[in-house]
Structure 1
Amino acid sequence: MTGRASFPVFGTTAHLLVTDPDALPRALRLLRTELAAIDAACSRFRPDSELSRANTAAAEGRAVTVGPRLAEALDAALQASARTGGLVDPTVGTAVINLGYDRTFASLRPEQLGLPPAPAAAPIRPDAPRPPSGPTAARAQQAGGPASQASQPGHWSEPGGGPGTGTVWSPSGPTAARAQYLPGVGARALEWDPTERRLRVPAGVALDLGATAKAWAADRSARLLSAALGCGVLVNLGGDLAVVGGSPDGGWRIAVADDHRAPAPDAPVVAVTGGGLATSGTTVRTWWRDGHPVHHVVDPRTGRNPEACWRTVTVAAATCLAANTAATAALVLGPDAPAMLRHAGLPARLVHDDGGVLRVCGWPEDTPTHDAPTHDAPTHATPRGAA
């Protein structure tokens, strides 16, 4: 038996699962309290948030001292920027606003929404088969590293040495040429003292932590709840999913879907026993701008949506932040994403705009929801949105 609860948060849905049903009421209180504190620190839609105050101070040339939660969230964003060479970057706030994402997604008018649904997935030839197993933290690589490891855009940096542990993947061909073009300021332009928690944002720059904040929040919340309750915890924030402290026999069953609001009956299911799983996509948070469809994923090299390629990318890693960073970078990289994911050693499932499915690094063949064991209803991993 497990306990579960769901509630709206950050413009999406939070799903909480615990291995001890008796711990659920306390777990739910702790999670609501923690996510409310994170929203007060990191939301760019709240004028009273710490992040909004930092962005306001930028226009006035002032530095600000931030609280521990925003400091931790900023460190996570800078880590993601360093690991991807700027493909996932917190200084894209102005570009996101220019695309029309200047308010919460729920407040957009109906006529601004309503892109046609994506076609159903039709599997194409997968990679060569690997030993069958679900994407768990034991197989995934921790993706971390200090901000000093920042590299050229399109690189994937990790500590240590060897594929998935330390070497740097760099693109070739058209992507390499585009990697030399960086119209944005990039994370390295920020003045950030993590010891004093002192931040100065350059004038004309707006921070947006939406690319990493939900994944970081899932990791942080799952650790906090598991430590407080002494049981296994799964926190899923709109497709950014963290597991800490154990799982039911066979793992938590996760249905990988384009949209948690209307998952397909035959959505594939994977088992996760620890670590993180994240899906980034372009099919849910979409709207119309000047007669053209746009979405919330921004290529920091151009300030625009990346060229169409993948509609969703799901990645397993040792943390939700690592998985989400890789999934978002894959959307930005487009055709070069599989090479990046293989080099990092991260199991992933990529769904092309035409519905074709590509699996890398041992991601298992699709097992439909209705064919999976029924000991626990699946949790849906859905495309990432901004916090």
Structure 2
Amino acid sequence: MSALQWRDWSCTVRVVLGDGRPGTAGTAEHLVRSLMDDVARSVDRFTSTSDVSRVNAAAGRLIPVRPLTLDLVELALRAARDTDGACDPTVGRHVEAAGYDVDIAALRTDIRAVPLARERPRSADWRAVRIDQRLGLVGVPAGLGLDLGATAKAWTADEAAARLERELGVPALVGLGGDVAVAGDAEWPVLVSEREGGPGEVVTLHRGGLATSSTLVRRWRTVEGERHHVIDPRTGRPSAGAVRTASVLAESCLAANVLSTAALVWGSDARERLRTQAARLVDADGRVVRTGAWPSARPEGGAVA
């Protein structure tokens, strides 16, 4: 095994290769960093030149975007459709209204005077997004903004693992914070926890991906109390349901993260909605409920999700 780790996108990036050959780690890091930079040019809300930022700034009009951005927006809209709107990419303005308008590292050092001083955005509505594939255009109505955080990072983990396995010819695991994807023929022990470095349980990942979404990690202070980044599209405010953390195993990290994000919005309905899906739900009091074919826990020690 060869492994490497660094910080980017305000999370820990982990890459593990199922081989012991020297020289592959540098190639793997370059591949993953290049892909992450490419995705950031499409979706980074904190960079004014990214496609998502330009679409949001031009709300009410269709503007030209990169082919990758078109694909990522369509994936986000599919996620909204598949979750009955729980995982909605048009909550960008609502995230900003809650105070999340700078990188989380900077946000945690300040107390935000929100949302009292801000006009409330219009209701989230993923069906209102307009895409012209032929001309390469994307637009959102005035008062709405895109935030592809629930899908783009997980897609990146899937794509990075697939590219590593294809180009290096070895099994690969890529973890971007709580989003973990694997490719190739191998078994991977993965630590599932609510917080990085916190207690949890280890499960074995054979294929696809595992994602953990939580209201406990990306938090900041406002004059009205603490806020977090998971917006309930029905209210336009941070979710306040019965589930504080959800971990899901699925055929891809993208599919897993769509469901883990939706579970926080579904709240008390999450257990029933995920009854046939391998999932681990933690309620507001810290009680754990497992659904579907969630694997038996192993002693701790593995990549973190």
Of structures 1 and 2, the one with the larger relative CO (CA 8 A, separation 6+) is 1
Match of residue 380 from structure 1: 304
Q: More strand per residue: 1 or 2?
A: 2
- After TM superposition, the score normalised by the length of structure 2 is 0.92
Q: Structure 1 residues 252 and 195, CA, compared in 2 at 3 Å: closer, same or farther?
A: farther
- 2:189 matches 1:253: yes
User: Percent same amino acid among aligned pairs?
Assistant: 41
Q: Secondary structure at the match of 1:268?
A: strand
SS in 2 for 1:110: coil
2-side partners of 1:334 and 1:62: how far apart? 35
Tell me the matched-pair count. 294
Deviations 1:7-52 (A, max 9, x none): 1111111111111233222111111111111112110111111111
> Are the equivalent residues in 2 in contact too, given 1:263–1:380 (CA < 8 A)?
no
Q: Distance in 2 between matches of 1:6 and 1:256?
A: 18
2:235 to 302, 306, 313: 302
8 Å contact kept, 2:189–2:302: yes
Structure 2 residues without counterparts, runs of 5 or longer: 113-121
The letter of the residue matching 1:256 is V
Q: Structure 2 counterpart of 1:258, which letter?
A: E
Distance in 2 between residues matched to 1:360 and 1:70, nearest whole Å: 34
Q: TM-score, normalised by structure 1?
A: 0.73
Query: What pairs up with 1:10-159 in 2 under 5 angstroms?
Result: 10-22=9-21, 23-58=24-59, 61-110=60-109, 112=111
What is the match of residue 279 of structure 1? Answer: 212
For the pair 1:193 / 2:126, whether they are aligned, the reply is no
AA at the equivalent of 1:81: A
Change (3 A) 1:21 1:75: farther
Contact 2:111–2:223 (Cα < 8 Å) also in 1: no
From the superposition, tell whether residues 191 and 111 of structure 1 become closer, same or farther in structure 2 (CA, over 3 Å).
closer
Q: Map of 1:172-251 to 2, 5 A cutoff?
A: 184-247=123-186, 251=187
Q: 3-state SS of the aligned residue for 1:220? A: helix
Give how far 1:367 is off. Answer: 2.8
- Give the deviation of 1:185 after TM superposition: 4.1
Contact preservation (8 Å) 2:80, 2:86: yes
Contact 1:351/1:357 (8 A) holds in 2: yes
Could you tell me which residue of structure 2 aligns to residue 373 of structure 1? none
CA distance in 2, matches of 1:193, 1:75: 11
Match of 1:291 in 2: 224
Displacement over 3 Å in runs of 4+: none
Question: Could you give the per-residue CA deviations for residues 59-79 of structure 1, whole angstroms, max 9, x where no partner exists?
Answer: xx4321211221221111111
CA distance in 1, matches of 2:172, 2:298: 24
What SS is found at the alignment partner of 2:143? coil
Q: Cα RMSD (Å) of the superposition?
A: 1.6
Q: Which runs of 5+ in 1 are unaligned?
A: 114-182, 370-376, 382-387
State the distance in 2 between where 1:235 and 1:202 align: 35
